[in-house]
Amino acid sequence: MKEICLLIFCLFSIRTAAQENYKLAKTIDSLYEQDQSVQLKLKAIYERNAPQDSLKQQDSLKKAIYLRGAQFSKDIYGKFGYPTKKMVGEDASHHFFVLIQHADMDTSFQLAMLPILDKLSKKGDISRRDYAYLYDRVQRNTGGKQLYGTQPTYNEQGNLFDDKNNIIYPVDLADPEKVDKRRKEVGLEPIEEYYESILQMLGRPRAKTKQN
């Protein structure tokens, strides 16, 4: 409750232009830190094979944090517009995008933000990578086709490569043969490297190809 009150105070106590950028950035960073913290705790619970009750409790907390982040993001956008790199700095601008990316309970909000990210990223006001991630997220949430493969589909073993070490492309990925070309256009690494980095982060690196 104290954290919520602090965020509300930060959000609505901004006055001058100089104060606005700093305080707004701090508010966004605080929301982002809570977003990331709840994810890390959930990951740790999974890794130690905690009881299902603990998993469900932490997952419910994660959803509540995501929902709160979405609500504050709407308030921020309504009051200040989209926090660009010039307004709040590159880090806080990206952190604001993450809050939108995790607002899966409110697809209409994500969808409304998509053309805004498209326009601002083309002007260089925000990261073009952020637009690509949100585009794919919206497509997955609405039954459309991804362009950049940022939302992977794991197999039953929780892997992103098959038993021959070939990429498992998401079934909702449009034109997989050209995905790396599209990724390069928005500043993303090749999809194979992306998948490998995900598995490294999860602690289960891609198996090495057997030598004959």
Amino acid at 72: F
Residue 54, token pair as written in the block: 């603990």
What pTM was estimated for this model as a whole? 0.85
Confidence of residue 48 (pLDDT cuts 50, 70, 90): confident
Cβ atoms of 10 and 25 within 8 Å: the answer is no
| Structure-derived torsion over alpha carbons of residues 56, 107, 87, 19, reported in degrees to the nearest 10 | -60
The pLDDT, as a whole number, for residue 10 is 55
Residues near 61 by Cβ (< 8 Å), separated by ≥ 6?
Answer: 38
- Alpha carbons 39 and 44: distance in angstroms, whole number: 9
Mean pLDDT of the 78-97 span: 96
